[in-house]
Structure 1
Amino acid sequence: MSDAPAPVEVEPRRGFTAKLWYGYARVLVALRWVIVLGWTVAAVAAMVFLPPMQGSANDIEALGANDESFAAEKRSLELFGFPLLSRAAIVQRNPEGLPPLVQAEAVMRGIAINQGQYETELLGAIPVPNAEGAFPGAGETNTTVVTFLFADPTLNFFQQTQVVEDFAAEQLTDESDAYVGVTGSIPARAAQGKVLNSYVHIVEVVTVLAVLTIVALTFGSLMAPALTLLSVGAAVFVTLGVSGWAATIMDVSIPADLRPLIVALLLGVVTDYCIFYLSGLRARLREGHDRLEAARLATASVTPIVTVAGVTVAAGTASLLVAESPLFSGFGPALGLTVLTGLVVAITLVPALIAILGRAAFWPRQLVAEPPKVRPRPSLLTRAVAHRGSAFLIVLLCVAGLSAAASQARHLDLGLGFVQSLPETTSAQRAAEAAGKGFAPGIISPTEIVLEGAGVGEKADEVAQLGEALKAQPGVAGVIGPGDLPAADDVGAFTAKSGDAVRFLLILDSTPLEATAIETLGRVEVALPQLAADAGLGEVTTSVAGDTALASGIIADTANDLIRIGLVALAVNLVLLVVFLRALIAPLYLLASSVLALGAAMGLSVFFFQDYLGQDDLTFYVPFAVSVLLLSLGSDYNIFAVGHVWQEARKRPMREALLVATPESTRAITSAGLALAASFGLLALVPLRPFHELGFLLGVGILIDVFIVRALLVPSLITLVGPLSSWPSGILRRERRTRVRTARGRG
């Protein structure tokens, strides 16, 4: 007779829900070939027939820029008939000295553009040399000319940049011209798009290889990563197509930066769910079940947990929809749709594939049935979190350590930093650096100050006095106003023809889209009405426009959205945890643990980027997108880990339940967490600052969640709180009393 153990009989399903999930598993296994074929067709159809996901071509508005600075800029154009703010500029610089003839040619070239003497799509120009006395706050003298250029605003930023670069290439051909490059917020955004396009596929390939390597090592198999690759591939192709279609239908502008994050999220969550299904299949096969029954049992046990977890992540990310910012309101649905598509693939295609492959899913490892054996002695760590005394100490240490790290988050500053996010090798970055040395860092994106009042343009002395007062403000490197640039005065750039409005260009001594510049401009805005009054200008209306004002408005709107988004995300995650666990106490401390882990990740990012690397700030949208993702993904792991403990605690004492469930769930979560951390962490390969921040924050946040919160803090809290965790349902206590009565009845 064979020594192989007899197949374990299927445990009868007692509850309606259990029967429902087992019936679902039977249908999937029966239709396994149809499901695989169906997803193959769907992936191909999505690539062929659905529009690809496109980022906004001119995405300043998509970044949330819808505030008073745009209104001020529009009003200024109405008053003067000539734009003063330019978001693209040509930089010429020779640190040894720029010949006077070259400076004069730059000025004459600007006048010729304004007079329409060139066949170009440029609408105007304002050349600014750092000649002796022309710009007292300049870092150098007679070395640099910055020519602000105005292209057709209806063109996207790629097209506007190309118009400016083509003009520079045609006109600045002599070595003496000392042409450095084109810079400004529009060329910087164009450069970001080019860098992203050149790296996105490299990052995707490296990420896929890293994730598949983790899966291969987890199961000691080459077929398991192949199964994961098929599942992820179907999810990616379908999601990108569906997202593109949905964005078109809903008229939602998706920022160009979003695609790598969507792909990383999709890779991570689908890989996680593949690991959970494969772990379930391996356990059932080792119990002695045949291929199809093992697939049914694994699907029936894993699918409810994966479904609730996926819905939790999707609902959490979709909470961004409540934001007023166009960036977040488009960001949330895209991420939510991504997770839902990945979930549908995971709960249909993965069960079909494991049913087809069976033991072959773990090839070349030979997976054989194992006879029942005594449960191995729990590890020292598992016993520690299940013992009340050591669990109390673990909770103290975890909370103290995470709180200390989180305390650094209070120093978080936010900015946009378009130019500063670029690699140093890009033309826009080099040109910005050259302009900053010749003038001041704020020269690449000056701030426009408009004063509107009856006859204000005729008060030359008072206007000049205001200009001097503005120059004296801390953080201001220079001011350009009426009479400072004759070429600009000729086209009415600083004084309105009606005489009822004047304006200045304010150049800050710090990079114009970062936290320091935003703080400086805030002080100037507060002081401006009093400065105008002290100058004797009488009753005037003041307004401020420009990229720094724009950044200030975006960050203020983002901060306002944070409260709204945070409350909704916490509420969504709490409700889903309450429904799944049928308890209130446990969801509260589980969610509190996730918030603490998020705070620690945020604090570490502030320490690393602002303190260690010396950055002025973090990109404004990164902390908030990361917060929603980490909270939702933390609840995802909560459901998987605590769900297993809950199941065991219904049939055995809490401590024993922890000893049984914790090792099994921790192994799966560790593998899944490593795959997810790799998926997000490798975003840092894109040589743009926001992706460095996203990769660091998400990668570190997930590792903290997996190795500290999920492995130590949460099991220890469950030990300390005990059966009270299920309050108000009392389900754990009721189950324990039932076991006691059953034992007495048998006695």
Structure 2
Amino acid sequence: MFERWGTAVVRHPVRVILAWLVVVMGLGGVGYLVLGPEGAAAVAGQNETDFLPDKYESVKAARFAEKAFPSVDGDGATAVLVLSRVDGAPLAPADQAKGREVVEGLGGAGVRGVDGPSLSPNGKVMLAQVTFTEKLGHTSLSGTVTRLRADTEDRVAGTPLRSGYTGEAAVAKDSERLDILVSVGMVVMIMVLLIVIFRSPWVALLNLLIIAMVGQGVVAVIAIAAKAAGTTLDGSVTGLLPVVLFGVGTDYVVFLLYRYRERLRLGEDRRTAMVAALARVGSAIGVSALAVAVSFGALLLSGFGSFQILGPALAFAVLVMVLAGLTLIPAVFSLLGHRAFWPSKAWRSEPKAGLAARTGNLVARRPTAVALAAVAILAALGAAALAHKPSYDIEAMPSGTESARTMDRLEAGFPAGTLSPTTVFLSGPGVSEQSATAYAGRLSALSIVGDLGAVQVAGDAARIDLLLAADPLSEKALDAMVNELRPAAHSAAPPGTTVYVGGETSAFADIRDVVEVDLRVILPAAGLLIGLVLLLMLRGVLAPLYLLGAVVGGFVATLGAAVLVFQGAVGRPGLTFTLPLIVYMFVASIGTDYNILMIARIREELRGGASRREAVRVALRQAGPPVAAAGVILAASFGALTISATLAEVGFAVAVGVLLSTFVLSWLLVPALTALVGRAAFWPARTSAPRVVRAPEPVSVRMGG
């Protein structure tokens, strides 16, 4: 099938290239018309309740708030101005007067309103909340924050006061530079690695240009689909999508070009070589992409809307990239032929035996020892996974930035929950200012409550803000929400009234419940789907079983490595709550990806008449380098995320997981196990009959499309 596919592509390469250009440019135009200049930011989710089912209390509270206390500020982004003395002393009356003057003068283009100022209980800090006309992600918001910061600094110049902004808009502004560094760093690392691997700048440049072009179309489709479905995208989608596009897309390019270069080395012309390359690796690449896609697709089973969107979005990106890898890439490189690898000429001769060949010899000679060593590595790292603790504090701020320094000063005067108050809504006949105030007083006596915020009454509804004494996203606050605050809020309510407890802490308490269920459902479901793909491809029983066991071991070892680094060395209280699911999706799918390519080559050698150990030796020599190259490139792509404020843990864990999948699973464990069990790994499929692989006939090509 892939031989016929490749023949069709190389016969009409110009048509294939033009078709991709038309589709991508058309999608870009439609995306601009539908979404405007904001692009994917136009469908970005603003809070956690956007992704929870309606049955949860935090969602009910948010819906009730929209009706009873509609915000006059709409969905504009916010930032918090913090004023304090340079010497850290309490604010004198003159300082407070100056602070009120500064707050009253805030405004200008892009600012919708200002609330405050409020003085901290210890008198050291004043704060005010600024609401902007635009929401997070809008192109003009960054400039507005910059202008507001400069204007405020001018207003306090020459006084004992110092100013600073924190909150979502300020954090977004401070994260811009890191986001740029992540993107640029990833692209540069991929380019450098491709140049080192292929000794050609053209391979690197063409790969990056093609993926960037196709990626624009993928992002446009996902954003348009979200807009049409009335749903929203969260930061995990927009943060991980470029890495998947560039990392996974480059993997498929590497797998194909290694085989293409190998066929050129044998003397085949450029078009015949491309057809032969597709005939031999097209099936493995296609099945590998399918395994990755179904793994991500398992996230549809999640009860958390963010995962339900993330899974299909990444699966779609992978499928589009593999389609480009089997059509657009062959069309471009079949036109270029040898010129694509200029100026290097070293590829024209058979490469000398390197690390992959030596590893193949070792695995073929001592498969039992190699398998035990690989299992020992996985077990040693996996043991640390027993200490894993989830963390829901996702509001990471870039260290050393104004928003981070300002947050430290704010917490010196206000309770930890000041920027994320827990809001209790009281509804029913007889609700009055007096009854709401009395009810708020009872709630403020709870140990988890640090201070009482505003109490508002509108008709037969009341809104009460509680400032928690603990970090709103800490395990202590989440436990107190479920075990103390919610039960007390309901039991202390006046007879005949209804209570809804909302806010960020309430939302993450519900998210925690959802994720705990997801882990029990999605992990085995994804494993089952990957297992079915392996069964369909390998048509054997034993090989899919130990391949699946290998990737599960790789996942546990990866999680253990993340625990050792972040909970151990760095000292964090836990790992981001989404980490196990995201790492499992990537490590299980990518591990399967590389294992498929390796075991497919082993099976190819077995069908050619080689013994089981000889098949492993040759497969590692030939397939080991492209698998290693792809693994290092993908690990580097995710490694770029380690400088991100919010995705550092994900970037590190997936990078480690990819390297484990590459060198421990695909290079050691899977070949060693296959060397031990031999052809029985593929039973009942037949691998014993030698098969002569016929090179495709030269392809007749009519130039010009």
User: For the superposition of Structure 1 and Structure 2, which TM-score range results when normalised by the shorter chain?
Assistant: 0.7 to 0.9
Work out the CA distance in 2 between the residues paired with 1:554 and 1:171.
39
- Determine helix, strand or coil for the equivalent of 2:641: helix
- Determine helix, strand or coil for the equivalent of 2:155: coil
- Change in Cα spacing, 1:105 to 1:75, as seen in structure 2 (3 Å) is farther
Ranges in structure 1 where 5+ consecutive residues have no aligned partner: 1-19, 132-140, 482-487, 740-747
Paired position in structure 2 for 1:395: 371
CA contact (8 A) 1:91 1:146 kept: yes
Deviation at 1:459, TM superposition (A): 7.3
Quick one: which amino acid aligns to residue 206 of structure 1? G
Q: 1:627 aligns with which of 574, 584, 591?
A: 584
Paired position in structure 2 for 1:29: 10
1:93 maps onto 2:84 in alignment: yes
- Change in Cα spacing, 1:80 to 1:677, as seen in structure 2 (3 Å) is closer
1:446 maps onto 2:421 in alignment: yes
- Determine helix, strand or coil for the equivalent of 1:448: strand
Q: 2:686 aligns with which of 731, 735, 745?
A: 731
1:648 maps onto 2:609 in alignment: no
Deviation at 1:350, TM superposition (A): 1.9
Paired position in structure 2 for 1:518: 478
Q: 1:684 aligns with which of 631, 634, 642?
A: 642
CA contact (8 A) 1:212 1:229 kept: yes
1:59 maps onto 2:59 in alignment: no
Paired position in structure 2 for 1:6: none
Work out the CA distance in 1 between the residues paired with 2:613 and 2:16.
42
Work out the CA distance in 1 between the residues paired with 2:422 and 2:49.
21
- Change in Cα spacing, 1:107 to 1:520, as seen in structure 2 (3 Å) is farther
Quick one: which amino acid aligns to residue 433 of structure 1? D
Q: Deviations over 1:328-371 (max 9, x none)?
A: 22212221221111111110122223322222232222368769
- Change in Cα spacing, 1:525 to 1:657, as seen in structure 2 (3 Å) is same
- Determine helix, strand or coil for the equivalent of 1:205: helix
- Determine helix, strand or coil for the equivalent of 1:731: coil
Work out the CA distance in 2 between the residues paired with 1:302 and 1:645.
13
- Determine helix, strand or coil for the equivalent of 2:681: helix
Paired position in structure 2 for 1:409: 385
CA contact (8 A) 2:634 2:658 kept: yes
CA contact (8 A) 2:102 2:152 kept: no
Paired position in structure 2 for 1:129: 119
Paired position in structure 2 for 1:7: none
Work out the CA distance in 1 between the residues paired with 2:173 and 2:101.
33
Superposed, which structure 2 residues align to 1:363-378 within 5 Å? 363-366=342-345
Deviation at 1:406, TM superposition (A): 2.3
1:69 maps onto 2:58 in alignment: yes
Q: Which moved more, 1:89-98 or 1:455-464?
A: 455-464
Quick one: which amino acid aligns to residue 382 of structure 2? A
- Change in Cα spacing, 1:310 to 1:434, as seen in structure 2 (3 Å) is same
Q: Which moved more, 1:639-648 or 1:312-321?
A: 312-321
Quick one: which amino acid aligns to residue 14 of structure 2? W
Q: 2:519 aligns with which of 562, 569, 585?
A: 562
Quick one: which amino acid aligns to residue 448 of structure 1? T
1:293 maps onto 2:248 in alignment: no
- Work out which of the two has the higher radius of gyration on C-alpha atoms and give 1 or 2: 1
1:384 maps onto 2:373 in alignment: no
TM-score (norm: length of structure 2): 0.83
CA contact (8 A) 1:310 1:343 kept: yes
Deviation at 1:513, TM superposition (A): 2.5
Paired position in structure 2 for 1:591: 548
Ranges in structure 2 where 5+ consecutive residues have no aligned partner: 693-705
CA contact (8 A) 2:264 2:273 kept: yes
Paired position in structure 2 for 1:745: none
Work out the CA distance in 2 between the residues paired with 1:290 and 1:157.
50
TM-score (norm: length of structure 1): 0.78
Paired position in structure 1 for 2:399: 423
Deviation at 1:623, TM superposition (A): 3.5
Work out the CA distance in 2 between the residues paired with 1:364 and 1:82.
63
Work out the CA distance in 2 between the residues paired with 1:81 and 1:284.
67
RMSD value over aligned CA atoms?
A: 4.2
Q: Which moved more, 1:588-597 or 1:461-470?
A: 461-470
CA contact (8 A) 2:182 2:643 kept: yes
CA contact (8 A) 1:285 1:367 kept: no
Deviation at 1:156, TM superposition (A): 5.9
Work out the CA distance in 2 between the residues paired with 1:206 and 1:144.
39
Q: Deviations over 1:437-490 (max 9, x none)?
A: 1133222222234567868976799858735641xx2xx362327xxxxxx5xx
CA contact (8 A) 2:302 2:518 kept: yes
Paired position in structure 2 for 1:663: 621
- Determine helix, strand or coil for the equivalent of 1:442: coil
Paired position in structure 2 for 1:742: none
CA contact (8 A) 2:116 2:128 kept: yes
Deviation at 1:602, TM superposition (A): 1.6
CA contact (8 A) 2:356 2:624 kept: no
Quick one: which amino acid aligns to residue 409 of structure 1? A
Paired position in structure 2 for 1:485: none
Work out the CA distance in 1 between the residues paired with 2:415 and 2:640.
35
Work out the CA distance in 2 between the residues paired with 1:344 and 1:391.
36
Paired position in structure 2 for 1:244: 223
Q: Which moved more, 1:602-611 or 1:68-77?
A: 68-77
Deviation at 1:106, TM superposition (A): 7.0
CA contact (8 A) 2:360 2:618 kept: no
CA contact (8 A) 2:175 2:398 kept: no
- Determine helix, strand or coil for the equivalent of 1:92: strand
Quick one: which amino acid aligns to residue 386 of structure 1? A
- Determine helix, strand or coil for the equivalent of 1:444: coil
1:180 maps onto 2:149 in alignment: no
Quick one: which amino acid aligns to residue 413 of structure 1? K
1:259 maps onto 2:238 in alignment: yes
Q: Deviations over 1:227-262 (max 9, x none)?
A: 423432442233233333433344442225533422
Quick one: which amino acid aligns to residue 436 of structure 1? E
Q: Deviations over 1:502-534 (max 9, x none)?
A: 846132233x2244432343342366269849x
Quick one: which amino acid aligns to residue 702 of structure 1? V
Q: Deviations over 1:647-667 (max 9, x none)?
A: 112222212211121221111
Work out the CA distance in 2 between the residues paired with 1:333 and 1:44.
23
CA contact (8 A) 1:317 1:335 kept: yes
- Change in Cα spacing, 1:87 to 1:71, as seen in structure 2 (3 Å) is farther
Paired position in structure 2 for 1:5: none
- Determine helix, strand or coil for the equivalent of 1:438: coil
Q: 1:508 aligns with which of 461, 469, 487?
A: 469
- Change in Cα spacing, 1:96 to 1:224, as seen in structure 2 (3 Å) is same
Paired position in structure 1 for 2:700: none
Deviation at 1:378, TM superposition (A): 8.7
Deviation at 1:586, TM superposition (A): 1.1
- Determine helix, strand or coil for the equivalent of 1:96: coil
Work out the CA distance in 2 between the residues paired with 1:443 and 1:105.
23
Among the aligned pairs, what percent are the same residue? 27
- Determine helix, strand or coil for the equivalent of 2:163: strand
- Determine helix, strand or coil for the equivalent of 2:573: coil
Work out the CA distance in 2 between the residues paired with 1:611 and 1:667.
34
- Determine helix, strand or coil for the equivalent of 1:441: coil
Deviation at 1:205, TM superposition (A): 3.4
Deviation at 1:645, TM superposition (A): 0.7
Work out the CA distance in 1 between the residues paired with 2:333 and 2:198.
14
Quick one: which amino acid aligns to residue 211 of structure 1? I
Q: Deviations over 1:421-449 (max 9, x none)?
A: 3333133x333211111133222222234
CA contact (8 A) 2:443 2:489 kept: no
Q: Deviations over 1:284-306 (max 9, x none)?
A: 22223233322221122121221
CA contact (8 A) 1:129 1:145 kept: yes
CA contact (8 A) 1:597 1:705 kept: yes
1:605 maps onto 2:562 in alignment: yes
